[in-house]
């Protein structure tokens, strides 16, 4: 299999870089490719980053994924890290054709890492932090016992994704409501006085509340305000929070990123292999990368088709396309693709370009849970509009429910009250209770979340978790003092 | 150089982390099992069966939306209205073992594994050497440390080096010299002699209602299972008593109910008689376990205590469990008319005798732990 040398790979990399730069116009930059053993690839994949702190959490992931690989049930070809310079792993034992595909694929990723605005906030110098965090956590495990630290890590990870995400627009703090004088105020003295009084009351209310405004950075809030935490615990929370902050923008651009990578490897490999007689092997590999998946969407397949659709609209538009896109049929396809790769995230990409044609090519369907057996799914539609609505919603929210801290002195007992800003569907009760117990261990006191039952916006329910592991459900009638607090 | 061989980073730690994961899993399973030993279906599973254990503690909790209302998108040829298997390309149809995405939710365990996990915390009580066999029953344990030997004990050596450095005013490892070296060494430990007889005595008077009997059965089951694992050969003798006692077969033991009062001493007299005739203490490790609801004739208490004291002289353990599911008495309390109250007053320090109370199923595990506690010396060492 591996009848090639590192020098051969370097040559392949040169040729790929050249095609990417001259023919596709990708932003090429230095990528350091490491040829490493499969075990290392799976280890780094389980951790999300190389050399991250040791945890049973990654161990579970490693065990299942590496086990599947060894049983011949799956294979990671490539692993790439958004750092500067970009680092990527090539797995030892892959054929030269496979390595070529991976190298070309990574050039697509590197372009997005460099150019995409949503990824602009990513700290690409994260590795020194990762290494230092690994040392500190090892130290804490030595000092306080591995299990205690692992338990605390689990609790912190439970809410790590609840932080302001890579947002191009940041919300300014609201500040206190002030009366703004208007032109004809003197004509409405009584009304103006009443309005001023109302705002004064609102300010008073606000000052009494803590936090003054609902806080969406759950770990940050708890780290700053929980009492009785030890220093190491605060440090663990801040490590988990900041490392999660690195991953969130990448979760937001997953389909876009894979789409760019798939197009890059397809375009480059077609140019390289058509002549070389290795096309058949390449084509098989490519087909397995973009193979459709049952009950979920293969981001390689969907991303690739979305980018292809943009190129088609640019080069080969029909009348309908021209009506919708002013640039349809009149722009260099690669130029338009590069613009999209620069400006869009997954939600925007799907909203604009998930056309019936893409749905058809990817064989997409929308599904719901079967009422009979929630483990099964029932296909609800093959219409592009419905599929788009579901997909856009999932990718706009990253499937992270919006949870806010609304009161840090709930029931007057220093408990934590959270509110779920729902979108028509309430929280899963089992997971809510489990999560609240984890938060309660961080906060040190009981923790409650307000949400709705199922899809009924009029039925409010409250879940509470306690630091001792108990949890309970209170419906709207069960918690008189809870209602008073809001 | 854009393509290099290796990453120069630590890379074989995946196995280490997955071992940690397994350890954690095991610990959490054990925790959950303890809460379940009061459940009859574990026993009903029988020794060859496998039982299903939900491992809630290992799930990675997070807020998600109501799973039943989840909408998603998949790929394939299915048309509207078709019901298809669980999502996630990997899960085999009908495989309910995996929850959305990732985490192991339930595991199947052999009864064997279940018992090993639970029993790893229990210890045999003080053992008295038994005549015939102990001369040959030696067991070599590599758990000692020596200054000479073939195989270096790295941990002990490093510890010694650290200590010596500290004594000499340096707070670090390193500069290992000859006096630091420590070697693995062994000692010979006697194996407990291989035979045990377990006398299971139960009050079958009318006051032992179905619920109490059920708890007695669970208690006996776990005691016998534990002892079976520790001895090569175990025999059980069932003694049912009201005011009289007699030996019965197992089925009858749990099914019969007789009218009449309760005289515990009758059971102990019967046990003494059978033991004398059939199980000489030189050859057998003798265990006596007694369960009742604690309503003994007050006049019989003195005689009972006398017999308990006598039995502790030849028994490895005399244990008593008072099942009182409806909180009728005030167990433990001094002056209580219950047997446990009497024992608390008069036999609390009696060596070789342990008693416990159980009001609900979940009290059974603490009771077992009380009976088969690590002895104090060992506990202090751990």
What residue in A sits closest to B61 (Cα-Cα)? A435
| B81: CB partners within 8 A, 6+ apart | A378, A379
- DSSP codes, A239-289: HHHHHHHHHHHHHHTHHHHHHHHHHHHHHHHHHHHHHHT-HHHHHHHHHHH
Chain B residues in contact with A449 (beta carbon < 8 A): 63
Is the distance from CB of A226 to CB of A444 less than 8 angstroms? yes
B131 or A95: which carries more pLDDT confidence? A95
What residue in B sits closest to A37 (Cα-Cα)? B6
Q: Is B11 on the interface with A (CB under 8 A)?
A: yes
Tokens of B310: 């006598």
CA distance B327 to chain A (A): 25
Cα angle vertex A56, ends A51, A59, to 5°?
65
Q: Is B131 on the interface with A (CB under 8 A)?
A: no
| B193: CB partners within 8 A, 6+ apart | B127, B129, B130, B132, B133, B134, B137, B283, B285
Given this model, what pLDDT does residue B94 score? 30
State the best of A385, A427, A428 to mutate against chain B, taking most chain B CBs within 10 Å: A428
How distant is the alpha carbon of residue A355 from its chain centre?
24
- DSSP codes, A444-474: SS-EEEEEEETTEEEEEEEEEE-TTS-EEEE
Q: Is B74 left (phi over 0), alpha (psi -120 to 50) or beta?
A: beta
- DSSP codes, A294-351: TTS--HHHHHHHHHHHHHHHHHS--HHHHHH-TTTTSS-HHHHHHHHHHH--HHHHHH
Q: How far apart are CA A414 and CA B200, in angstroms?
A: 53
| A192: CB partners within 8 A, 6+ apart | A179, A185
Strand residue runs (E) in A16-105: 31-36, 78-81, 86-91
Tokens of A24: 């596709």
What residue in A sits closest to B96 (Cα-Cα)? A375
DSSP bridge partners of A91: A36
Chain B residues in contact with A32 (beta carbon < 8 A): 1-4
Is the distance from CB of A387 to CB of B73 less than 8 angstroms? yes
Mean pLDDT computed over B183-209: 77
Is the distance from CB of A164 to CB of A221 less than 8 angstroms? no
Of A154, A382, A449, the CB nearest to B79: A382
Query: Tell me, what DSSP letter sits at residue B193?
Result: P
Q: How far apart are CA A349 and CA A310, in angstroms?
A: 10
CA distance A56 to chain B (A): 4
DSSP bridge partners of A381: A366
Q: How far apart are CA B29 and CA A107, in angstroms?
A: 45
Of A55, A63, A293, the CB nearest to B75: A293
CA distances from A430 to A207, A444, A471, B66 (A): 35, 21, 10, 9
Of B3, B22, B69, the CB nearest to A35: B3
Nearest to A399 by CA among B65, B134, B3: B65
Q: Say if strands A402-410 and A415-421 run parallel, antiparallel, or are unpaired.
A: antiparallel
Chain A residues in contact with B75 (beta carbon < 8 A): 292-294, 296-298, 301, 362-365
CA distance A379 to chain B (A): 5
Mean pLDDT computed over B167-181: 81
Of A147, A368, A428, the CB nearest to B71: A368
| B311: CB partners within 8 A, 6+ apart | B268, B271, B272, B286, B288, B318
Q: How far apart are CA B310 and CA A89, in angstroms?
A: 74
Given this model, what pLDDT does residue B193 score? 57
B135 or A159: which carries more pLDDT confidence? A159
Q: How far apart are CA B282 and CA A380, in angstroms?
A: 77
ipTM rounded to 2 decimals = 0.90
Give me Rg for the CA atoms of chain B. Answer: 28
Is the distance from CB of A60 to CB of B18 less than 8 angstroms? yes
Chain B residues in contact with A87 (beta carbon < 8 A): 7
Q: How far apart are CA A190 and CA B105, in angstroms?
A: 64
Q: Phi/psi of residue A30, each to 5°?
A: -70, 130
3-state secondary structure of A99: helix
pLDDT beyond 60 at B105: no
State the best of A347, A379, A383, A423 to mutate against chain B, taking most chain B CBs within 10 Å: A379
Nearest to A486 by CA among A432, A426, A419: A419
Q: From edge to edge, which strands make up the β-sheet containing A377-381?
A: B71-75, A364-369, A377-381, B83-84
> For every one of its 486 residues, what pLDDT tens digit does chain A have, with 9 covering 90 and above?
458 999 999 999 999 999 999 999 999 888 999 999 999 999 999 999 988 999 998 988 888 888 888 888 778 878 999 999 999 999 998 999 999 999 999 999 999 999 999 998 889 999 999 999 999 999 999 999 999 999 999 999 999 999 986 455 566 666 788 888 888 888 888 889 999 999 999 888 877 788 888 899 999 999 999 998 999 999 999 999 999 999 999 999 999 999 999 999 999 999 988 666 788 889 999 999 998 888 889 999 999 999 999 999 999 999 999 999 999 999 999 999 999 999 999 999 999 999 999 999 999 999 998 877 777 888 999 999 999 999 999 999 999 999 999 999 998 899 999 999 998 999 999 899 999 999 999 999 999 999 999 889 999 999 999 998 889 998 655 543 433 333
Q: Is B73 on the interface with A (CB under 8 A)?
A: yes
What residue in B sits closest to A383 (Cα-Cα)? B80
pLDDT band, residue B107 (cuts 50/70/90)? low
Scan residues 25-64 of B and list those with Cβ closer than 8 Å to A.
Answer: 27, 56, 58-64
CA distances from A29 to A20, A307, A335, B194 (A): 11, 22, 19, 73
For chain B, list the domains and their CATH numbers. Answer: 15-59+98-120 (no CATH), 138-190 (no CATH), 195-381 (3.40.50.410)
| B273: CB partners within 8 A, 6+ apart | none
Q: How far apart are CA A173 and CA B204, in angstroms?
A: 74
Q: How far apart are CA B258 and CA B280, in angstroms?
A: 31
3-state secondary structure of B170: coil
Q: Phi/psi of residue A217, each to 5°?
A: -95, 85
pLDDT beyond 60 at B351: yes
Q: Please state at what angle helix A146-159 crosses helix A127-144, rounded to 10 degrees.
A: 130
Chain B residues in contact with A61 (beta carbon < 8 A): 102
Q: How many residues does chain B have?
A: 382
| A122: CB partners within 8 A, 6+ apart | A82, A113, A166, A246, A249, A250
Q: How many residues does chain A have?
A: 486
Tokens of B86: 């669980």
Q: How far apart are CA B96 and CA B105, in angstroms?
A: 9
Of B7, B15, B78, the CB nearest to A36: B7
Of A60, A374, A427, the CB nearest to B65: A427
Tokens of B209: 């209602």
Q: Is B101 on the interface with A (CB under 8 A)?
A: no
CA distance B1 to chain A (A): 7
Number of Cβ within a 10 Å radius of residue B140: 9
State the best of B6, B8, B14 to mutate against chain A, taking most chain A CBs within 10 Å: B14
Q: How far apart are CA B50 and CA B31, in angstroms?
A: 18
3-state secondary structure of B196: strand
Q: How far apart are CA B14 and CA B31, in angstroms?
A: 26
Q: How far apart are CA A382 and CA A356, in angstroms?
A: 9
CA distances from A409 to A210, A211, A330, A445 (A): 7, 9, 60, 10
pLDDT band, residue B181 (cuts 50/70/90)? confident
Say yes or no for a CB contact (<8 Å) between B22 and A146: no
Of A59, A90, A387, the CB nearest to B20: A59
Is the distance from CB of A402 to CB of A393 less than 8 angstroms? no
Nearest to A402 by CA among A340, A450, A455: A450
pLDDT band, residue B357 (cuts 50/70/90)? confident
Give the tens place of pLDDT for each residue, B254-293: 777 787 788 899 999 999 999 999 998 888 889 999 999 8
pLDDT beyond 80 at B58: no
Q: Is B381 on the interface with A (CB under 8 A)?
A: no
Q: Please state at what angle helix A38-47 crosses helix A56-70, rounded to 10 degrees.
A: 140
Q: Is B92 on the interface with A (CB under 8 A)?
A: no
């Amino acid at each position: 299999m591996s009848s090639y040398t590192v020098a051969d790979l370097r040559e392949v990399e040169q040729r790929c870089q050249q095609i990417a730069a001259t023919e596709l116009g990708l932003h090429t930059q230095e990528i350091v490719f490491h040829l490493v053993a499969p075990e290392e690839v799976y280890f780094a994949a389980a951790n999300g980053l190389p050399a991250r702190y040791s945890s049973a959490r990654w161990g579970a992931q490693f065990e299942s994924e590496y086990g599947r690989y060894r049983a011949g049930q799956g294979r990671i070809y490539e692993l790439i890290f958004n750092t500067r310079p970009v680092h990527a792993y090539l797995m030892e034992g892959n054929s030269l054709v496979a390595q070529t595909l991976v190298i070309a694929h990574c050039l697509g990723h590197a372009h997005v890492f460099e150019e995409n605005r949503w990824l602009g906030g990513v700290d690409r110098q994260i590795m020194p932090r990762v290494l230092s965090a690994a040392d500190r956590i090892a130290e804490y495990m030595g000092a306080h016992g591995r299990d205690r630290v692992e338990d605390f890590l689990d609790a912190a990870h439970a809410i790590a994704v609840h932080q302001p995400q890579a947002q191009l627009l940041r919300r300014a703090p609201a500040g206190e409501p002030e009366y703004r004088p208007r032109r004809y105020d003197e004509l409405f003295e009584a009304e103006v006085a009443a309005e001023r009084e109302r705002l004064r009351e609102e300010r008073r209310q606000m000052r009494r509340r803590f936090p003054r405004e609902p806080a969406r950075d759950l770990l940050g809030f708890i780290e700053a305000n929980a009492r009785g935490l030890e220093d190491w615990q605060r440090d663990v929370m801040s490590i988990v929070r900041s490392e999660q902050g690195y991953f969130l923008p990448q979760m937001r651009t997953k389909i876009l990123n894979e789409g760019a990578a798939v197009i890059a490897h397809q375009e480059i490999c077609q140019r390289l292999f058509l002549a070389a007689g290795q096309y058949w092997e390449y084509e098989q590999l490519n087909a397995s990368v973009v193979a459709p998946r049952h009950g979920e969407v293969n981001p390689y397949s969907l991303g690739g088709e979305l980018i292809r659709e943009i190129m088609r609209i640019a080069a080969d538009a029909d009348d309908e396309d021209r009506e919708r896109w002013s640039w349809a049929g009149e722009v260099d396809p690669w130029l338009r693709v590069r613009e999209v790769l620069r400006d869009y995230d997954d939600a925007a990409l799907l909203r604009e370009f998930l056309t019936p044609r893409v749905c058809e090519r990817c064989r997409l369907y929308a599904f719901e849970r079967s009422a009979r057996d929630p483990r099964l799914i029932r296909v609800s539609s093959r219409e592009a509009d419905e599929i788009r609505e579901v997909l856009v919603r999932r990718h706009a929210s990253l499937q992270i429910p919006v949870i806010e801290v609304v009161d840090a002195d709930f029931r007057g007992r220093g408990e934590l009250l959270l509110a779920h800003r729902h979108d028509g569907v309430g929280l899963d009760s089992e997971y809510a209770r489990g999560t609240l117990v984890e938060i309660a261990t961080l906060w040190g006191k009981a923790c409650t979340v307000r949400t709705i039952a199922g899809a009924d916006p009029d039925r409010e329910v409250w879940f509470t978790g306690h630091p001792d592991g108990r949890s309970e459900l209170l419906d709207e009638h069960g918690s008189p003092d809870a209602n008073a607090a809001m | 150089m854009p393509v290099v061989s290796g990453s120069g980073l630590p890379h074989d730690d995946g196995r280490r982390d997955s071992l940690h994961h397994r350890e954690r899993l095991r610990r959490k399973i054990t925790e959950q099992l303890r809460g379940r030993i009061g459940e009859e279906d574990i026993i009903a599973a029988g020794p060859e069966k496998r039982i299903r254990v939900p491992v809630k503690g290992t799930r990675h909790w997070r807020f998600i939306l109501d799973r039943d209302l989840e909408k998603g998108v998949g790929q394939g040829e299915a048309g509207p209205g078709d019901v298809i298997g669980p999502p996630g390309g990997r899960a085999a149809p009908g495989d309910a073992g995996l929850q959305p995405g990732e985490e192991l939710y339930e595991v199947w365990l052999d009864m064997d594994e279940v018992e090993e996990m639970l029993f790893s915390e229990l210890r045999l009580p003080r053992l008295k050497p038994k005549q015939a066999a102990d001369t040959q029953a030696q067991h070599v344990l590599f758990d000692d440390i020596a200054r000479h030997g073939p195989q270096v004990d790295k941990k002990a050596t490093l510890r010694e080096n650290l200590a010596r450095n500290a004594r000499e005013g340096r707070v670090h490892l390193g500069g290992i010299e000859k006096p630091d070296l420590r070697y693995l060494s062994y000692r010979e430990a006697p194996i407990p002699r291989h035979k045990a007889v377990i006398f299971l005595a139960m009050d079958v008077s009318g006051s032992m209602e179905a619920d109490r009997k059920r708890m007695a059965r669970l208690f006996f089951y776990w005691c016998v299972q534990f002892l079976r694992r520790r001895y090569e050969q175990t025999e059980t003798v069932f003694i049912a008593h009201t005011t009289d006692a007699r030996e019965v077969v197992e089925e009858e033991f749990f099914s019969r109910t007789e009218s009449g009062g309760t005289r515990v001493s009758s059971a102990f007299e019967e046990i003494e008689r059978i033991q004398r005739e059939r199980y000489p203490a030189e050859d057998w490790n003798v265990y006596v376990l007694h369960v009742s609801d604690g309503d003994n004739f007050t006049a019989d208490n003195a005689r009972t205590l006398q017999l308990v004291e006598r039995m502790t002289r030849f028994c490895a353990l005399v244990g008593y469990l008072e099942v009182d599911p409806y909180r009728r008495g005030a167990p433990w309390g001094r002056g209580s008319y219950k047997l446990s109250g009497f024992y608390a007053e008069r036999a609390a320090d009696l060596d070789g005798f342990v008693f416990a109370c159980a009001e609900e199923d979940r009290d059974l595990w603490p009771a077992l732990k009380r009976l088969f506690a690590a002895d104090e010396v060992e506990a202090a060492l751990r």
